C-alpha cells in the first residue's frame, strides 16, 4: 500500500508540495483589543517573524486610529523588505479615515472584522498556486471578486433577513454557489426548518431587539446543528462579542465580498459537520 504524503498532483502530472505558510511581519498596535482575533489567526497560520533578517512575504500593520502609524515608518518597512506586500489592519476608529484624505496610498485596508475572511481567501489562492491579493499591483482592487460558476445544489441556507430585496440578492449569490435558500423576515414568526446547512442573519448594529431575535434564530438553527453567519453594519468589538455569546459562528461587516461570504459560510458548515461527527 502506498504511503500517504503531503503532495498533490499538478495539471501536468507533477507532484507539487503544498505551499509553506506565508512569512508575515507584524508591526504596530498588536495588543489592541480589536486585533486579538487577527493576531491569533496569524500566529497559528503563518510564520511570524520578529527580525528583519528574514524577508517577509507580507507585512501587516495594525493601526487602531488614523495616523497612529506615520508614513515614515511605512517607508522604512518598505525599504527593508521591498518585495513584501503591505496590508493595513484597521480598528473601528479608522472607519472615517477615507474622508480625511490621509489613508496610506497603494496599501490594502482591512478592518479588524474583515481580516479572517480575507486571510482565508489568501490561503486558498496560495494553495491553488495563484497570486494572493497582497502580491498584486496596487492598481488592482483587492475587492474585485471573481465571477463564480454555478455548482450542483449542496445545502439549504436559511435567510433571516428583514427586506425581500436583500433576501433575493443573497439568494442569487447562494444559488450560484450551489445552495438553496428559504427566507424568514425579522417581523414574522420563525418557521421551523429541517436539514439546513447553515443560516444567515442580517441586521444593523445589533440593537437589543436584534440581539433577542438573533439569539432565538441561533437556537432554532442549532436544532439542525446548523451554524449562523451574522451580517452587521460596521461591527464594534462589543457587538461582535455579543453575537458569539448568543450562538453565532461568524460575523461579517457590510459591505462584504460575496466570495468571502460563501467561503465563510461553507467553512463554518464544514467545521460544524466535523464537530457533530466527532
Q: Take residue 29 and report the three cell numbers written for it.
A: 498596535
Asked whether the predicted pLDDT for residue 216 surpasses 60, the reply is yes
Residues 6+ apart with CB under 8 A from 134: 57, 58, 85, 86, 87, 108, 122
| CATH architecture for residues 20-135 | 3-Layer(aba) Sandwich (3.40)
Asked whether the predicted pLDDT for residue 271 surpasses 90, the reply is no
Domains 20-135 and 155-277 share a fold: yes
Residue ranges of domains in the chain: 20-135, 155-277
Asked whether the predicted pLDDT for residue 18 surpasses 60, the reply is no
Contact between 220 and 192 (Cβ < 8 Å)? yes
Tens digit of pLDDT for each residue in 54-81?
889 999 999 988 877 777 888 888 888 8
Q: Take residue 109 and report the three cell numbers written for it.
A: 485596508
The Cα 165–Cα 185 span in angstroms is 11
- Residue 16 pLDDT: 45
Residues 6+ apart with CB under 8 A from 256: 114, 117, 231
pLDDT-derived band at 104, boundaries 50, 70, 90: confident
Asked whether the predicted pLDDT for residue 148 surpasses 50, the reply is no
Contact between 108 and 84 (Cβ < 8 Å)? no
Superfamily classification of domain 155-277: Response regulator (3.40.50.2300)
Contact between 217 and 206 (Cβ < 8 Å)? no
- Residue 24 pLDDT: 94
Share above pLDDT 70 across residues of the chain, in percent, rounded to a whole number:
81
Mean pLDDT for all residues in the chain: 82
pLDDT-derived band at 17, boundaries 50, 70, 90: low
Amino acid at each position: 500500500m502506498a504511503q500517504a504524503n503531503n503532495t498533490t498532483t499538478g495539471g501536468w502530472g507533477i507532484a507539487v508540495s503544498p505551499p509553506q505558510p506565508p512569512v508575515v511581519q507584524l508591526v504596530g498596535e498588536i495588543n489592541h483589543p480589536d486585533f486579538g482575533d487577527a493576531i491569533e489567526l496569524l500566529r497559528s497560520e503563518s510564520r511570524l517573524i520578529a527580525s528583519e533578517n528574514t524577508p517577509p512575504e507580507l507585512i501587516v500593520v495594525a493601526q487602531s486610529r488614523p495616523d497612529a502609524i506615520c508614513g515614515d515608518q511605512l517607508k522604512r518597512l518598505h525599504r527593508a523588505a521591498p518585495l513584501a506586500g503591505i496590508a493595513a489592519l484597521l480598528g473601528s476608529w479608522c472607519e472615517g479615515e477615507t474622508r480625511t484624505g490621509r489613508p496610506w496610498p497603494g496599501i490594502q485596508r482591512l478592518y479588524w472584522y474583515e481580516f479572517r475572511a480575507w486571510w482565508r481567501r489568501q490561503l486558498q489562492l496560495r494553495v491553488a498556486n495563484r497570486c494572493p491579493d497582497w502580491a498584486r499591483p496596487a492598481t488592482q482592487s483587492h475587492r474585485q471578486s471573481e465571477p463564480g460558476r454555478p455548482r450542483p445544489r449542496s445545502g439549504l441556507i436559511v435567510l433571516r433577513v428583514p427586506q425581500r430585496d436583500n433576501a433575493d440578492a443573497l439568494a442569487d449569490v447562494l444559488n450560484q454557489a450551489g445552495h438553496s435558500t428559504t427566507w424568514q423576515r425579522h417581523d414574522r414568526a420563525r418557521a421551523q426548518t429541517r436539514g439546513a446547512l447553515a443560516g444567515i442573519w442580517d441586521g444593523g448594529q445589533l440593537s437589543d431587539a436584534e440581539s433577542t431575535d438573533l439569539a432565538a434564530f441561533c437556537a432554532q438553527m442549532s436544532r439542525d446543528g446548523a451554524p449562523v453567519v451574522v451580517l452587521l453594519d460596521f461591527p464594534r468589538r462589543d457587538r461582535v462579542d455579543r453575537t458569539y455569546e448568543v450562538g453565532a459562528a461568524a460575523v461579517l461587516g457590510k459591505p462584504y465580498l460575496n466570495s468571502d461570504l460563501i467561503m465563510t459560510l461553507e467553512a463554518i458548515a464544514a467545521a460544524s459537520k466535523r464537530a457533530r461527527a466527532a
